[in-house]
C-alpha cells in the first residue's frame, strides 16, 4: 500500500488547534479526519469552562475557521471581550465542529500511530507507506484508519505534572489523591466551594493557574471565615513573581497576577518559598502534611491544589521516528525558541512546519503538545502553526514558509536557568522589558522560616 492523495489527514484532538487544523485542511481542499477522545468537541476546554481566558475573542478564533463558519450564520463575539472556557467551547469550538460535520469523530481514543507495515526499526520503503492510526471507540471496539499525514493536536491536559519537585509524584502523593486536585477548582459550584470553604488549602505552582486559584480562594475567604491558602513556590519572591502587571501587553493576564498578589497582601494567603515537595504525609487527624526536600514540614492542610504544569503523552507515537528535545519533549528545532531555561524577554521567534517537522515526514505535533513541557503557549501560536503545516501538507511550501508571529510580552524579564533557585539574585540589570523589580514582602506560613528574597522571573520570561 502506498500513500495516495485521496487518503485523509488524521488530526488527533478536537480542541482549538485540532479544529483549526481541520479548517485549514478544508480550505486547502484536503480531507481531514479529526479523532476526539472525549464525548464532545473541545472536551478538555470544557473541563475548565469556569476559567476566564486572558486573551480576547479577537485572539482566540482562527481565520480559516471563521471562513468555514460564515455560511452557517455564525456571528463572532465582540473581539474586545474575554471569553470563559465555556464560552469558547459553546460559542466557537462547538459550532466549528458542527460545521466540519462527519469529519469529526467523537469518542475515538488514539492508541497508536505507525507506518503501514513498518515498525520504527524498518527503513525499507518507509516514506512511501501511509500512516496507520489505531483507535478505540466509545463502545470499546478497535478500529484503524490510513492517513497521508498525521497532525497531533491532542494537547497535554490529560497528563498534569505532579507535586513532587523531581518530576515524579511525591512520596504519598498517590495515596493522598482524594485530597488533591490538579486543576483550578470551580469555586462557583456550591459542591466544590463546600470542599474548600473554611479549609486550609495548599496551592503548589507559580503560573497563571496558580494565580487563578489564589485569587478565587481569596474571594471565598471574604465570605467564609477560616478559608486560607498556603502558596508553595520552589523559588523566591520578587515583584516579577506576580507577572508583568501593567506592563503586560495582555492586560487580563497582568491583572491576574495582581489579583494573586492582592490575595497575599490582604492576608488570605501565605507563601512558602524555596520549598520542593518530597512527600505528602497524613497527621493524626487525617490532614495532609507537606514535607520538603530540605526536611521542612509545613502545617497541616485540608486540601492540595497542584498546578505545576502539564506534559505530553507520547506513548501512542512510540513507533514513529520523532525527534524531541531531551528536556522539553518539544520538537528539536522548536525547543531552543521556547526553552524556559534560556528564553527571556521579547517574543517567540516565528515558527511553522519546519520547526515542527521530524525525520518521519508527515507527522506534526502542534498546539500545546508541540511545546512539550514549556509553559508559554498561546492560542494564536497554534493557529499560525496549523496554517503553516496545512500549507506544507498541501505542497505549498512558499506559503508554509511565510510564517509571521508576534506574541504579546508580559513585561517581565526572565532568568536564565535560575528560576528554581530560592536564594538566587535577580536577573542581570540590563533587562529588556520593565525596570528591575523590587522585592515584595509577604507573609509566610507558620512552619516556614524562609524569608522573602529577590528572584529572577518565572520560566518563560516575556512569553510566560
Which pTM was predicted?
0.84
The pLDDT, as a whole number, for residue 419 is 34
- The stretches in the chain having pLDDT less than 70 are 1, 237-254, 342-348, 405-464
How far is Cα of residue 291 from the mean position of the Cα atoms in its chain? 27
The pLDDT, as a whole number, for residue 109 is 98
Mapping DSSP to helix (H, G, I), strand (E, B) and coil, where does residue 191 land? Answer: helix
Q: What is d(CA 23, CA 34) in angstroms, rounded to the nearest whole number?
A: 11
Crossing angle between the packed helical segments 208-223 and 251-265, to the nearest 10 degrees: 50
Classify the C-alpha dihedral 369-371-373-374 as positive or negative. negative
The pLDDT, as a whole number, for residue 415 is 29
DSSP conformation class of 245: G
pLDDT digits (tens, 9 = 90+) for 247-262: 555 566 667 778 888 8
The pLDDT, as a whole number, for residue 217 is 96
The pLDDT, as a whole number, for residue 376 is 72
DSSP conformation class of 77: P
- Cβ atoms of 169 and 159 within 8 Å: the answer is no
pLDDT digits (tens, 9 = 90+) for 277-314: 999 999 999 999 999 999 999 999 999 999 999 999 99
Instruction: Look at residues 310, 335, 311 and name the one whose alpha carbon lies nearest to residue 324.
Output: 335
The pLDDT, as a whole number, for residue 343 is 53
The pLDDT, as a whole number, for residue 97 is 98
Amino acid at each position: 500500500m502506498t500513500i495516495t492523495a485521496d487518503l485523509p489527514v488524521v488530526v488527533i484532538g478536537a480542541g482549538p488547534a485540532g479544529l483549526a487544523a481541520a479548517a485549514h485542511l478544508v480550505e486547502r481542499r484536503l480531507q481531514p479526519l479529526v479523532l476526539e477522545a472525549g464525548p464532545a468537541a473541545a472536551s478538555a476546554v470544557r473541563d475548565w469552562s469556569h476559567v476566564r481566558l486572558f486573551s480576547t475573542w479577537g485572539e482566540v478564533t482562527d481565520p480559516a475557521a471563521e471562513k468555514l463558519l460564515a455560511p452557517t450564520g455564525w456571528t463572532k463575539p465582540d473581539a474586545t471581550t474575554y471569553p470563559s472556557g465555556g464560552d469558547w467551547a459553546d460559542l466557537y469550538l462547538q459550532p466549528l465542529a458542527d460545521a466540519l460535520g462527519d469529519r469529526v469523530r467523537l469518542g475515538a481514543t488514539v492508541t497508536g500511530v505507525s507506518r503501514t507495515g513498518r515498525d520504527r526499526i524498518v527503513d525499507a520503503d518507509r516514506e512511501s507507506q501511509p500512516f496507520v492510526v489505531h483507535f478505540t471507540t466509545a463502545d470499546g471496539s478497535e478500529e484503524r484508519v490510513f492517513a497521508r499525514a498525521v497532525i497531533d493536536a491532542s494537547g497535554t491536559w490529560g497528563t498534569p505534572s505532579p507535586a513532587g519537585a523531581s518530576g515524579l509524584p511525591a512520596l504519598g502523593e498517590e495515596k493522598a489523591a482524594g485530597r488533591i486536585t490538579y486543576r483550578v477548582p470551580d469555586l462557583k459550584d456550591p459542591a466544590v466551594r463546600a470542599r474548600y470553604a473554611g479549609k486550609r488549602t495548599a496551592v503548589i505552582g507559580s503560573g497563571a493557574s496558580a494565580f487563578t486559584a489564589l485569587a478565587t480562594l481569596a474571594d471565598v475567604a471574604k465570605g467564609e471565615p477560616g478559608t486560607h491558602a498556603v502558596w508553595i513556590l520552589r523559588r523566591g519572591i520578587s515583584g516579577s513573581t506576580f507577572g508583568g502587571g501593567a506592563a503586560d501587553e495582555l492586560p487580563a493576564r497582568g491583572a491576574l497576577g495582581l489579583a494573586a498578589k492582592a490575595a497575599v497582601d490582604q492576608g488570605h494567603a501565605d507563601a512558602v518559598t524555596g520549598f520542593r515537595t518530597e512527600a505528602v504525609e497524613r497527621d493524626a487527624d487525617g490532614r495532609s502534611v507537606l514535607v520538603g526536600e530540605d526536611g521542612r514540614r509545613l502545617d497541616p492542610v485540608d486540601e492540595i491544589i497542584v498546578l505545576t504544569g502539564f506534559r505530553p503523552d507520547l506513548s501512542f507515537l512510540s513507533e514513529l521516528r520523532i525527534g524531541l528535545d531531551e528536556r522539553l519533549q518539544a520538537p528539536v528545532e522548536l525547543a531552543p525558541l521556547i526553552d524556559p531555561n534560556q528564553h527571556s524577554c521579547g517574543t517567540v521567534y516565528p515558527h511553522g512546519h519546519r520547526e515542527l517537522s521530524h525525520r518521519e515526514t508527515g507527522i506534526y505535533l502542534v498546539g500545546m503538545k508541540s511545546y512539550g513541557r514549556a509553559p508559554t503557549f498561546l492560542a494564536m501560536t497554534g493557529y499560525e502553526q496549523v496554517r503553516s503545516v496545512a500549507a506544507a501538507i498541501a505542497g505549498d511550501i512558499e506559503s508554509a514558509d511565510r510564517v509571521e508571529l508576534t506574541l504579546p510580552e508580559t513585561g517581565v524579564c526572565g532568568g536564565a536557568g535560575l528560576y528554581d533557585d530560592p536564594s538566587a539574585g535577580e536577573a542581570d540589570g540590563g533587562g529588556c522589558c520593565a525596570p528591575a523589580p523590587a522585592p515584595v514582602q509577604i507573609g509566610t506560613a507558620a512552619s516556614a522560616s524562609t524569608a522573602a528574597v529577590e528572584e529572577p522571573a518565572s520560566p518563560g520570561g516575556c512569553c510566560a
